[in-house]
A and B are shown apart, each in its own frame.
Chain A
Amino acid sequence: MTVRRPGLANRMADNLETTVAFWYLAIAAVGAGALMLVARNPVHSAISLVIVIFHVAGLFVILGAGFLAVAQIAIYAGAIVVLFLFTLMMLDMRRLPEERVTHRQIWLGIPLGILLAIEGVVVSVGTPEISASIKGTFPPATVSELGGSTQALAVSLFNEFTLPFLGASVLLTAATIGAIVLARRVEAHEQADYPQAAEASSPDDTPAEPGPAEPVLEESAR
């Protein structure tokens, strides 16, 4: 009796299109990842990161996890890396020292990378039994019973993980409000209420005369 491997290996055995797509996406993702590490210009690194994210999203599509793929692009590529680029564009590149490609951390990184590679090999191509034993709580049958990967994710998120989900939401909201408060400049008419805050900010920012109010939300939009 042959034990059929779950997931990707199974799908790849079934049709040619998936195999071609997988090898393209895998090679492109790893290549762009390497480019991200060795690029000397931080903007090039950020763009390579977007390419990695895009191709990993493609791998999710092959696995039938469309929601995950789209969320990956919308959140990581569409929001997080854009903010990286936004910040990098504010910097004057000519004043940054040319970054060295390798650092001393490489001596810790190489053994850890080798260990991760061995684990990956053992799990994916080692024995079918290992890979069969580590499928998640949602095997393909359960997912199709629930009506798709989006529904499966929703069931999991809003039943089993409701409390962590709400906790993360509260934490993120608090962090956002904190960032707005920290980024906000103290306006002239508020100096009387918060004298110590007025001292902390630089004198250029706070005119002595009550001037026109600063557009506060420009700060938070960043």
Chain B
Amino acid sequence: MDFWAWLILITKVLAIFVLFALGAIPLVLLERWVLGRMQSRYGPHRVGWRGSLQSAADGLKLGIKEDMIPGKSDKGVYWFAPVMMVMPAMAAWAIVPFGPEVEMGRTIGLWVADLNVGILFFLAMGSLGVYGVVMSGWSSNSKYAHLGALRSSAQVISYELVMGLAVLAVIIYAGSLSLIDIVNAQAGLWFIVPQLIGFLLFVFAAVAETNRAPFDLPEAESELVAGFHVEYSGMRWAFFFMAEYANMLLMAALVATLFLGGWNGWTIPGLEALTGVIWFLLKVSLFMFGFFLLRATQPRFRYDQLMNFCWKILIPIGVVNLLIAAGLRMAWS
């Protein structure tokens, strides 16, 4: 690789990092505004114009707060758990295609890496995410954190299967594991049309994997206080928060890429790259809004309902859907 290739790569990585580090601030604000509207109250409205600096102020507060470590915790694991939470969430962003290739002296793809096993890389990083939860829950040496971690690991491992089954059906249609190829395969028809069932399965699994309402049992505030991260404070707690929002964004980006055609949409000739990125961001925003609406409207599942829903309903549907997709694909070719 020459100097410019290195420079472009480092710029892309830094862009992802900034998105990750600062993305939570506007998203938290938007979520609180949406929740406020849904519940007939103002939401944040004191700091800045209509409360627009509220979450920036919260972030500042977390940054200067004392970092407490429980006395009987396992210090090393306690220290490492937020890192394990953040690292996979960030690494998975490397494969997300934001838009088509751009010609600027040389051809630059609007993604960090086009892996030929891209979608499997996403699933692998998703399965690593559970370590942050398990390690924080165990090392805190606290009952609530421990229960939250146990719930979360069972939940994430179960719903990973649903997500894998939904993704497999898409792979069968696209004929490739690379996300760029999957987006290009949707130039004519978005995969949500032939794979509506797969799309619904993926959305359920995405909400469960990110531990969001109505699947937020690991941190159920009414029974477990805050679940696995109850003992954390200050910047370390902020890491868990950032990882949650980065994971939500990642899931929204993956839904847009796998089922809604990624950057595909109507374009203005000459501005394909710009319109592509706008289309992608619109689709991602739609799903982020969906996450907020779900939280505002749906009550939390009970634990046995959660497991029954996954193992008795979603997984059988996923297997049948996969068989039908494979059969249709065989019939076409």
Contacts and interface: CB of A to CB of B under 8 A. Distances in A.
Pair from one complex: yes
Contacts of A221: 154, 157-158, 307, 310-311
Interface string A211-222: 000010110111
A126 interface: no
A137 B150 CA distance: 44
A74 B146 CA distance: 24
A58 B157 CA distance: 23
Contacts of B177: 150
B149 A89 contact: yes
A148 interface: yes
A165 interface: no
A85 interface: yes
Contact of B124 (A50, A78, A220, A222): A78
Contacts of B125: 73
A148 B116 CA distance: 8
A63 interface: no
Contacts of B146: 89
A210 to B, nearest CB: 18
Contacts of A44: 76-77
Nearest to A214: B304
B322 to A, nearest CB: 15
A193 B253 CA distance: 52
Contacts of B77: 43-44, 47
A70 B117 contact: yes
B312 interface: yes
B130 interface: yes
B134 A73 contact: no
B138 A43 contact: yes
B127 A73 contact: yes
B135 interface: yes
Given A221-B158, A222-B154, A150 B124 contact: no
A67 interface: yes
Contacts of B304: 215, 217-218
In this complex, the interface size class of chain B, counting residues with CB under 8 Å from chain A, is 35 or more
B157 A43 contact: no
Contact of B128 (A67, A78, A220): A78
Interface in A1-19: none
Nearest to B76: A44
Given A78-B127, A82-B130, A148-B116, A220 B74 contact: no
B73 to A, nearest CB: 12
A43 B117 contact: no
Interface in A197-217: 215, 217
Contacts, number: 89
B127 A150 contact: no
A71 interface: yes
B5 to A, nearest CB: 12
Interface in B131-148: 131, 134-135, 137-138, 146
Q: Is the interface of A mostly helix, strand, loop or mixed?
A: helix
A47 B149 CA distance: 15
Interface in B260-313: 303-304, 307-308, 310-312
Interface string A65-97: 011001101100111001101100110000000
Max chain B Cβ within 10 angstroms of own Cβ: one of A44, A215, A221, A222: A221
B120 A77 contact: no
Contacts of A220: 311
B116 A82 contact: no
Contact of B134 (A70, A85, A217, A218): A85
A77 B138 contact: no
A44 B74 CA distance: 10
Contacts of A89: 134, 137-138, 146, 149-150
Nearest to A85: B134
Nearest to B134: A85
A217 B154 CA distance: 11
B160 interface: yes
A193 B260 CA distance: 52
Interface string B102-132: 0000000000000111001101111110110
B150 A70 contact: no
A157 to B, nearest CB: 15
29 contacts: A43-B77, A70-B124, A71-B124, A73-B128, A74-B123, A74-B127, A77-B128, A78-B123, A78-B124, A78-B127, A78-B160, A79-B127, A82-B131, A85-B131, A85-B134, A85-B138, A86-B134, A86-B150, A89-B137, A150-B116, A150-B117, A217-B304, A217-B307, A217-B311, A218-B304, A218-B307, A221-B158, A221-B310, A222-B154
Interface of A: 41, 43-44, 47, 50, 66-67, 70-71, 73-74, 77-79, 82-83, 85-86, 89-90, 148, 150, 215, 217-218, 220-222
Given A89-B138, A89-B150, A217-B312, 10 more contacts: A70-B117, A70-B120, A70-B121, A71-B124, A73-B124, A73-B125, A79-B127, A150-B117, A221-B157, A221-B307
5 smallest beta-carbon distances between A and B, as pairs: A78-B127, A215-B304, A74-B124, A73-B124, A70-B120
